[in-house]
């Protein structure tokens, strides 16, 4: 059992097969979205591509909708974190933290 895109049952039917599916209930959808996100991230890590990254975005959009989050609010939080902590543009790698000699 796994979460699939909306048109997958129709695509399966057109191939002459019979899809067996049900609509996720409120208790299982969040878990299934989490599993799908991990699946898509792992696929991207195995073979990075714009297509795999687009799949991640699609799942993130579904998560935003499921949790009734506001996309504008998320963008504002992202921007605030970038102002406060920076982004990842400098490609810095923290190797450790040493106590001050002072």
Distance CA 3, CA 24 (A): 8
* 76 pLDDT above the threshold of 80: yes
Q: Quick count: other Cβ atoms within 10 Å of Cβ 36?
A: 20
| pTM of the predicted protein model | 0.85
Query: What is the rounded CA–CA span in Å between residue 19 and residue 11?
Result: 9
4-57 confidence digits (pLDDT tens):
999 999 999 999 999 999 999 988 999 999 999 999 999 999 999 999 999 999
| Residues constituting the chain | 102
Confidence band, pLDDT 50/70/90 cuts, at residue 59: very high
How many Å separate Cα 44 from the centre of its chain?
A: 11
Residue 91: is its pLDDT beyond 80? yes
- Assess contact for 64 and 74: CB atoms under 8 A: yes
Q: Cα–Cα distances in Å, from 56 out to 8, 25, 47, 48, 96?
A: 17, 22, 13, 11, 31
SS3 state of residue 7: coil
């Amino acid at each position: 059992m796994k979460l699939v895109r909306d048109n997958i049952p129709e695509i399966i039917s057109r191939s002459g097969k019979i899809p067996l599916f049900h609509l996720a209930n409120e208790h299982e959808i969040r878990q299934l979205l989490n599993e799908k996100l991990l699946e898509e991230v792992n696929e991207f890590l195995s073979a990075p591509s714009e297509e795999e990254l687009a799949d991640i975005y699609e799942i993130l959009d579904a998560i935003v909708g499921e949790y009734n989050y506001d996309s504008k609010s998320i963008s504002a939080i992202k921007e605030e974190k970038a102002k406060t902590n920076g982004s990842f543009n400098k490609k810095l790698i923290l190797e450790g933290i040493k106590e001050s000699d002072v």
